[in-house]
């Protein structure tokens, strides 16, 4: 797309497997997830959605591999769902904070664009077989990350879905057996709640 006209989308989403839709599989092995469901609820055609969510992506991966695409497209609605992999397997508190600031500053740099995200639910408490000390350590990281993300969103005007305290977080039926990803029901429920949060956003291309 470089050097030519920018591709237009009604919604673009950056992120990891939460954005990709893991836990909500199609028969062909691909995933549905909350992203296309949010689009449908907002009246956005599937062809007008660009979902860059990738399994295993960290905030650094989003900065390096996904964020450049934002400069090459136009969209009035941009979602970000990333950070869980940083917290559980690639933890660098300062690096994660710096990456999140970079991501959200670039995302919000376009006047009139609505940017949204969600915080980090209690994944440590659901992963099967984790020792109690590990669960406690990870929960401290998640709580710290959620506090920082809330402050960053308030500062930059990002709409934040409080997934960590949502009712669905404590409902086992909302989660895939791996304890990490939402189930199909969870993705549907998240989609309804995010769409409600985005009510009134301008999604016209």
Give every CB contact of residue 39 below 8 A, 6+ residues apart in sequence: 10, 11, 45, 46, 48, 49
Cβ(153)–Cβ(104) below 8 Å: yes
pLDDT by 10s per residue, the chain, length 205: 445 678 999 999 999 999 999 999 999 999 999 999 999 999 999 999 999 999 999 999 999 999 999 999 999 999 999 999 999 998 999 999 999 999 999 999 999 999 999 999 998 888 888 899 999 999 999 999 999 999 999 999 999 999 999 998 889 999 999 989 999 999 999 999 999 999 877 666 4
Domains observed in the chain: 7-196 (3.40.50.1110)
Tokens (6 digits) for 61: 């991966």
> Using CA atoms, how far apart are residues 37 and 105, in angstroms rounded to an integer?
26
Secondary structure (3-state) at 11 = strand
Sign of CA dihedral 6, 11, 15, 21: negative
Sign of CA dihedral 2, 7, 10, 12: negative
């Amino acid at each position: 797309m470089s050097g030519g006209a920018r591709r237009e989308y009604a919604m673009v989403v950056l992120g990891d497997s939460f954005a990709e839709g893991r836990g909500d599989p199609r028969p062909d092995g691909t995933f549905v997830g909350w992203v296309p469901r949010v689009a449908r609820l907002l009246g956005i055609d599937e062809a007008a959605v660009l979902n860059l969510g990738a399994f295993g992506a960290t905030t650094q991966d989003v900065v390096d591999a996904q964020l450049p695409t934002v400069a090459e497209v136009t969209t009035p609605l941009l979602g970000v769902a990333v950070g869980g992999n940083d917290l559980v397997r690639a933890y660098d508190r300062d690096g994660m904070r710096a990456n999140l600031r970079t991501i959200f500053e670039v995302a919000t740099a376009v006047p009139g664009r609505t940017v949204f995200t969600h915080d980090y639910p209690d994944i440590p408490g659901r992963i099967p077989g984790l020792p109690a000390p590990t669960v406690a350590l990870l929960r401290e990281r998640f709580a710290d990350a959620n506090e920082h993300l809330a402050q960053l969103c308030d500062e930059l005007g990002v709409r934040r879905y409080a997934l960590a305290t949502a009712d669905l977080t404590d409902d086992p039926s909302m989660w895939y057996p791996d304890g990490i990803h939402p189930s199909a029901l969870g993705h549907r429920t998240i989609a309804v709640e995010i769409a409600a949060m985005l009510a009134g956003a301008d999604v016209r291309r």
